[in-house]
Structure 1
Amino acid sequence: MDIFALLAENKIREAMEKGEFNNLPGSGQPLKLDDLSHVPDDLRAGYRLLKNAGVLPEELEIKKEIITLQKLIDYCYDQDEKRQLTKKLNEKILRFNILMENRKTGSAALSYYKQKIYSKLGGY
C-alpha cells in the first residue's frame, strides 16, 4: 500500500471511531447499484459520469423527442400545426433509424475485423 492509501485508511478509521458515519442519509438502506455489465470496463466511469449529469446518448434523446411529438400530434386539433409536427416527427424517426443503422454497420465491421484478426492468430 502506498502512503496515500494508508493516510486515507487512518482517516476513515478515525472517523468511524468518532461516529462520524452514524446517521448518514440512507444509512441501513440497500445500495442502488446500476447494472453496467453491458458497458466495457474502460468506459464505465465515463458512462456513470454522463448518466449522473443527466446526459443521454443521442439515440435516446431522439427517442424521447419522438414520443413527445407523437403525443403532441395525438392532442393537436389544428391541421397546419399537426402537419408541421408530423414533418418534425418524420425527420426525427429518419434520424433515429440512421443512427440505429450505423450502429448495426459498426458491429458488422467489428465482427469482420475480429474474424480477420482471429485468422491471422492461427484460425481460432
Structure 2
Amino acid sequence: MHTIIETIAEAKIREAIEKGALDNLPGKGKPLKLEDLSRIPEEFRAGYILLKNGGYIPEEMALQNKIFHYRQLIDQCCDVSEKETLKKELSYLNLKHSLLMEKRKRQSIK
C-alpha cells in the first residue's frame, strides 16, 4: 500500500521518463561510486557526507579513518619490526582520538 506522497512521486517519475527528461543525464551508463560508510555510526553518516562534500571532515572522523587504515595495514603486514612500528602509531592515534572525544564530551556538558 502506497502513501499519497509515494504515488505522486512515482507519477512524476513516470511522466519525466515519458518526456525524456531523464535521458542524457551525466553519468548515464556508469557505475555509481558508493563509499563504504560502515565504520561511521549510522546516526552520523548524513552529516559526514555533507561535511565531506563541503571539503571538511571533523578531526575525530579523520582520526577514525587513520585508525581504520592502520588496522588494515597491521593485518596485512608481514614484517615483525614494521608491524610493531604500526602498532605504536595505532596506539598513539587511539589515545589521541580518546582524548579528543573526552574533550568533546566535556565541551557538550558545559
The TM-score normalised by the length of structure 2 is 0.54
Q: How many residues end up aligned between the 2 structures?
A: 71
CA RMSD across the alignment:
2.7
- Taking the TM superposition and a 5 Å limit, the aligned residue runs for 1:109-124 are none
Matched, 1:26 2:20: no
Query: What is the alpha-carbon distance in structure 2 between the residues aligned to residue 106 and residue 49 of structure 1?
Result: 22
Identity %: 53
Runs of 4 or more, structure 1, over 4 Å off, are none
Query: What is the alpha-carbon distance in structure 1 between the residues aligned to residue 25 and residue 32 of structure 2?
Result: 13
For structure 1, list consecutive stretches of 5 or more residues without a partner in the other structure.
61-96, 108-124
Asked if structure 1 preserves the Cα contact closer than 8 Å seen for 2:48 and 2:57, the reply is: no
SS at match of 2:32: coil
Query: What is the alpha-carbon distance in structure 1 between the residues aligned to residue 94 and residue 100 of structure 2?
Result: 10
Residue matched to 1:13: 14
The TM-score normalised by the length of structure 1 is 0.48
SS at match of 2:25: coil
1:34-84 per-position Cα deviation (integer Å, ceiling 9, x unaligned):
110111111111111111111122264xxxxxxxxxxxxxxxxxxxxxxxx
Residue matched to 2:59: 58
Query: What is the alpha-carbon distance in structure 1 between the residues aligned to residue 94 and residue 39 of structure 2?
Result: 17
Residue matched to 1:77: none
For structure 2, list consecutive stretches of 5 or more residues without a partner in the other structure.
63-91, 102-110
